[in-house]
């Protein structure tokens, strides 16, 4: 029996969900979907011939391809279709899954999931759609070119709008016959960027200016190591800050999976929770993780740990309860002290701690699998 799913686990999940809604505050709840408002306003200005990248309280920081793709169709219907498609397909693909409580708990931890949905940022729904597509593909016997092409299409589409979605292409390295798509995705995104620079040079320059203003001038650089270093340390360049974050994530991943050691493919080494761990790794490669990125990241980490757990692991149950409670305690401390760096520290520590715990579990599974394989190899050699 798995370590989550009992009645008190459902009650705890309901408590975390209600607290997540409460901590958003009246302002967010009464004026939701402001990111959607930014999209719609920028498209309206673009259609009128105005500058969509003009400074506003909520700046538009998406590349020109967003404007060219969505300016000629009713955007509200398209956006509604994305939201509905991602949620419906997620529910359909997970209809028989036994990890729903664990995934939901991770999604709600820290209020990240509710916060991401309330903002109306398309990224959180794009994450859910890509995760659901990878999971559904992993459950079907055999793989077809059509499924991989659909996955590649959505990765390229989303990465053309938000470049960090390209990290999902890493998952193809661990899928049989997936290497071609690992290379195809960045090539397609690169062509999309080149086309924008060549065909819309003024818009692209305005986009780069706005992006630089948002990240470096407004300190909107995310909730993980890159953001902490940019906002509070500022001793290194932005490139160095990104490099430090990437090295930390890559070191944990290499320790857990050791991709240079054979076998690499998930079909060859079916460690519990491997798919969701690799999905979490792909998201962790984003140096500018925000609420709408952290929510699906936590969900994948929780599911990975859940799938590799059993009822005898009390530390796993403690983990599932302690991390959401730690974020709740941090939020209460901020409300009492008005020291907002407490919450910044909670996000920073939480992301790396959760990824560290799940990485160590994957490492333990890998080491155990190799240890059990050695006697079998020795017996086969002796018999031969």
Give the residue extent of every domain in the chain: 30-369
> What are 60-117's pLDDT values in tens digits?
999 999 999 999 899 999 999 999 999 999 999 999 999 999 999 999 999 999 999 9
In the structure, what pLDDT confidence band is assigned to residue 306 with cuts at 50, 70 and 90? Answer: very high
With vertex at residue 52, the alpha carbon angle to CA 48 and CA 53, rounded to the nearest 5 degrees, is 155
| Residue 45 vs residue 383, higher pLDDT | 45
pTM of the full structure: 0.94
Dihedral, CA of residue 32, residue 34, residue 37 and residue 39, to nearest 10: -130
Tell me what pLDDT residue 381 has: 46
Q: Check pLDDT > 50 for residue 129.
A: yes
Rounded Cα–Cα distance for residues 86 and 131 (Å): 10
Q: How far is CA 383 from CA 44, 252, 371, 372, 380, in A?
A: 74, 39, 19, 18, 5
pLDDT score, position 252: 97
Mean pLDDT score across all residues of the chain: 90
Segment 181-194, tens digit of pLDDT: 999 999 999 999 99
């Amino acid at each position: 029996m798995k370590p989550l799913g009992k009645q008190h686990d459902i009650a705890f999940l309901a408590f975390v969900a209600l607290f997540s809604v409460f901590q958003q505050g009246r302002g967010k709840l009464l004026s939701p979907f402001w990111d959607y408002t930014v999209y719609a306003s920028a498209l309206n200005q673009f259609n009128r011939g105005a500058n969509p990248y003009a400074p506003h309280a909520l700046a538009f920081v998406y590349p020109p391809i967003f404007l060219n793709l969505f300016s000629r169709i009713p955007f509200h219907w398209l956006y509604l279709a994305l939201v509905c498609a991602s949620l419906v397909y997620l529910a359909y693909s997970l209809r028989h899954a036994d990890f729903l409580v664990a995934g939901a708990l991770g999604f709600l931890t820290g209020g990240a999931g509710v916060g991401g949905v309330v903002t109306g940022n398309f990224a959180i729904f794009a994450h859910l759609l890509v995760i659901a597509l990878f999971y559904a593909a992993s459950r079907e016997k055999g793989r077809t070119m059509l499924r991989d092409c659909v996955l590649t299409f959505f990765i390229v589409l989303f990465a053309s709008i938000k470049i960090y979605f390209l990290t999902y292409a890493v998952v193809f390295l661990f899928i049989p016959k997936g290497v071609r798509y690992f290379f195809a995705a960045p090539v397609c995104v690169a062509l999309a960027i080149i086309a924008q620079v060549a065909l819309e040079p003024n818009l692209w320059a305005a986009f780069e200016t706005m992006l630089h203003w948002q990240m470096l001038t407004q300190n909107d650089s995310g909730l993980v190591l890159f953001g902490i270093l940019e906002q509070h340390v500022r001793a290194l360049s932005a490139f160095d800050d990104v490099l430090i974050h990437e090295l930390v994530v890559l070191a944990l991943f290499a320790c857990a999976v050791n991709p240079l050691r054979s076998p690499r493919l998930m079909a060859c080494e079916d460690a519990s929770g491997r798919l969701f761990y690799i999905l979490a790794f792909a998201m962790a490669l984003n140096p500018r993780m925000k609420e709408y990125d952290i929510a699906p990241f936590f969900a994948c980490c929780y599911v990975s740990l859940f799938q590799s757990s059993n009822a005898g692991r009390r530390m796993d149950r403690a983990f599932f309860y302690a991390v959401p409670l730690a974020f709740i305690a941090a939020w209460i401390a901020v409300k009492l002290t008005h020291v907002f760096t407490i919450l910044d520290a909670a996000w920073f520590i939480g992301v790396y701690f959760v990824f560290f715990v799940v990485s160590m579990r994957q490492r333990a599974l890998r080491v155990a699998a190799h240890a059990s394989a050695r006697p079998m190899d020795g017996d086969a050699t002796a018999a031969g």
